[in-house]
Amino acid sequence: MKMKIGIVCYPTFGGSGVLATELGMALSDKGYEVHFITYEQPVRLSQSFHPNIYFHEVKVPTYPLFAFPPYETALASAMVNVIVNNKLDLLHLHYAIPHASAAFFARQILKKSGLDIPFITTLHGTDITLVGKDPTYAPVVTFSINESDAITAVSDNLREETLRSFKIEKEIHVIPNFVDIKRFHQTDKDHFKQMLAPDGERILVHVSNFRAVKRVEDVIHIFNNVKKDIPSKLLMIGDGPERQKVEDLARELGIYQDIRFLGKQEQISEILSISDLFILPSATESFGLSALEAMACSVPVISTNAGGLPEINEQGKTGFLSDVGDIDDMSRHAKYILSDDDRLKHFKKAAITQARRFEKQHIIPLYEKLYCEVVSSCKH
């Protein structure tokens, strides 16, 4: 009998939620019973049915007194109920805030009735690099990370950054993000390409949650530069706080008609399949899961050299990396890749080769091994 695992994540389009959902689906395919505990059904979970996956919605009742409805309290209570009712063996938390502290709380409650359950915290990025370091959160983040039975980070860079920023008393295991190449690969979507780029224009693409850290305006400036020399179109996928500003910029520059702001999309692999170049100019990126998914669909990447990006994007091979904000350099590299058919083919081939290194069957066993280490009843 395989383990029963509770997964706690943000259910939105963000990379940590996507990764947690992909992990849950992969584990369920291997016979684990997986229980998602979160405030909404995770986005990717709604795309297919998995008989071994259960979804438990965390409800946060409002009350006139609550200026800030206490999600963490509701989450800890939901954890307790789901663990007891389903006899879970393990909790796996994605994104430290507030999941790790809620798990600590739930564990203390369960201990009172003689039940103990280990929890693993996977650090994804801004839970460390931006938000976690903030003195408002830092003591709780440090404490709850240290209370975890095991800690993982999605890149070497994030591991180092965590050790630099917090007093961590345990080993941090690096388990990189992964991609399911059965679902993310280039498929023949020429009819879509024909609709979006009727004159054979190159297609550039950006996928993110349009937060300031993504520097989405840089994407527009890079596209503007590329377009001056190479007929091209830009697909902007996702939504978030910067979207309006970025759409305004595209209008100001007079290139709005060549850009499609498609908003949040579920069939990302179909869009990537018709794309020639992925642009990710982030100020920081612990891993860049969206770039990996692009590479799996044979799309080379123009990115910054921030955070963990150099661990997936290989300079001059799968794309190029530039300093944060160096729009000219990124534009020059984009034109270099796009200006020659054979060169583009070469980069596309290298992108998929690199993505295979991060295929899910190489990575899932690393999590399984860790689960076994923390669950005492686990038999290899």
Interface positions with ligand GMT (CB under 6 A)? 10, 14-17, 19, 124-127, 129, 154, 177, 213, 284-289, 307
Q: Which DSSP string corresponds to 21-52?
A: HHHHHHHHHTT-EEEEEESS--GGGGGS--TT
In angstroms, give the least distance from the CB of 177 to ligand GMT: 5
Neighbours of 55 (CB within 10 A): 16
Q: By C-beta, is 129 or 144 nearer to ligand GMT?
A: 129
Q: By C-beta, is 43 or 84 nearer to ligand GMT?
A: 43
Q: By C-beta, is 14 or 118 nearer to ligand GMT?
A: 14
The H-assigned helical ranges of 253-326 are 268-273, 289-296
d(CA 352, CA 295): 5
In angstroms, give the least distance from the CB of 60 to ligand GMT: 20
> ∠ CA 151-154-160 to the nearest 5 degrees?
75
In angstroms, give the least distance from the CB of 215 to ligand GMT: 11
In angstroms, give the least distance from the CB of 296 to ligand GMT: 14
Q: Which DSSP string corresponds to 176-200?
A: ---B-TTTSS----HHHHHHH-TT-
> Is-contact 54 83, C-beta < 8 A?
no
Q: By C-beta, is 4 or 214 nearer to ligand GMT?
A: 214
Q: By C-beta, is 118 or 288 nearer to ligand GMT?
A: 288
Question: Cβ-count burial of 183 within 10 angstroms (0-12 exposed, 13-18 middle, 19+ buried)?
Answer: middle
d(CA 157, CA 339): 33
In angstroms, give the least distance from the CB of 290 to ligand GMT: 7
In angstroms, give the least distance from the CB of 122 to ligand GMT: 8
Q: By C-beta, is 121 or 129 nearer to ligand GMT?
A: 129
In angstroms, give the least distance from the CB of 8 to ligand GMT: 13
Q: By C-beta, is 17 or 300 nearer to ligand GMT?
A: 17
In angstroms, give the least distance from the CB of 155 to ligand GMT: 8
In angstroms, give the least distance from the CB of 289 to ligand GMT: 3
Neighbours of 82 (CB within 10 A): 22
Residue with tokens 């809620």: 102
| Joined tokens for residue 100 | 């790790």
In angstroms, give the least distance from the CB of 158 to ligand GMT: 7
Angle at which helix 360-374 crosses helix 15-29, to 10 degrees, equals: 80
Q: By C-beta, is 83 or 268 nearer to ligand GMT?
A: 268
Q: By C-beta, is 4 or 124 nearer to ligand GMT?
A: 124
d(CA 357, CA 40): 32
d(CA 203, CA 249): 19
Q: Which DSSP string corresponds to 54-81?
A: EEEEPP----TT-SS--HHHHHHHHHHH
Q: What is the dihedral of CA 260, 262, 265, 268, to 10 degrees?
A: 0
> For the chain, give me the number of helices (H) and strands (E)?
14, 13
d(CA 290, CA 282): 12
